[in-house]
Structure 1
């Protein structure tokens, strides 16, 4: 675990679907080095539907990262994937550390608000297999559309170049 000076550090973990972002984020949260708890925000909880990667990135920045950086409570609404609408609101305590993980977590704007930036990637075949094992038929029909949004995010923001740490999973 890296040492950071902030008492409420922000860790941004980005990468393509199935790369291992959620697994890494869970490990970082489990091994959090500070005495205070850490908050974990999975962008899967924010994306407004299958076409919402870019919008989810904006929501996370505007409603969570910017307020956290200013020392005020951030509020985000969970996306209900079954009802295809926003659900309950959640608060993010600015006095606590925060891990934000998901494709879109790392842009130039979010990197300025993060203390640690991470890019996770792996071979396309391995990523797809892991994603299908994890999400099954619910994701199968959306893989190509989601991958196109990931491609657009990478082309626009080059998150792999913004990352201080790069993790490659087999």
Structure 2
């Protein structure tokens, strides 16, 4: 279980939280904010800090949606269990995957909050972008990200990483996220730096999003 993070005082994250609050809803009544990037790039930590700055916004981790047999083939499950109910203003129910037991657990409720942070590799994929209010990309090169991820997970997960790397390469080769990012997030010793993303949209025009 992840330990709670201390309250953030990073100006970039508080500025981003203010920006998110000004956006229009993108998925029913929800502003869905995606944090994508290579495995090991720091998505989880950043997403939790952003959620804290947003007053405790829910964070949906794609690690709970994916599974060993479908590292990237989970689009239909996410749409059916989460996106479609939220789009109707209803509480979503999804079954988090247990990576050790290799099975899905009991359903977990996800009410339609004002902002929900979607975090994980592939969060900015083509099928999800119409439902996003903002797409953020953790701008750390893949080799550096993977080195960090391997060090984090240790020898116990070496075999998993041997399978993950080619799967991630294949996913982003066919369905890249970075070219469509509204903002790039770069870690700095003093915190985070937010830069305009390749899309140039900046998440400022909610009329572009499908409902």
Same fold (TM over 0.5): yes
- Equivalent in the alignment of 1:45: 64
* Larger-gyration structure (1/2): 2
Residue of structure 2 aligned with 1:11, choices 19, 33, 37: 33
Task: State the TM-score, normalized to the length of structure 1.
Answer: 0.86
Is the partner of 2:123 in helix, strand or coil? coil
The one of 97, 121, 134 equivalent to 1:79 is 97
Higher relative contact order (CA closer than 8 Å, sequence separation 6+): 1
Q: Does 1:127 align with 2:149?
A: no
Tell me which protein shows more strand as a share of its residues. 1
Total equivalences in the alignment? 166
Deviations 1:37-57 (A, max 9, x none): 4110111122112x4222234
1:61–1:168: structure 2 CA closer, same or farther, 3 Å change rule?
Answer: farther
Flag structure 2 segments of 5+ consecutive residues without an equivalent.
Answer: 1-15, 189-211
Aligned match of 1:118: 136
Displacement after TM superposition at 1:114 (Å): 0.9
Question: Is the CA contact (8 Å cut-off) linking 1:12 and 1:118 kept in structure 2?
Answer: yes
Is 1:102 the counterpart of 2:117 in the alignment?
no
1:22 matched to 2:22? The reply is: no
- Please, what TM-score do these two structures have when normalized by structure 2? 0.71
Counterparts in 2 of 1:143 and 1:121: CA distance versus 1, 3 Å: farther
CA distance in 2, matches of 1:140, 1:94: 37
State yes or no: 1:56 paired with 2:78.
no
The residue correspondences of 1:145-156 to structure 2 (distance < 5 A) are: 145-156=163-174
**In structure 1, how many angstroms separate the alpha carbons of the residues matched to 2:144 and 2:169?**
17
Task: Please state which structure has a larger fraction of its residues in helix.
Answer: 1
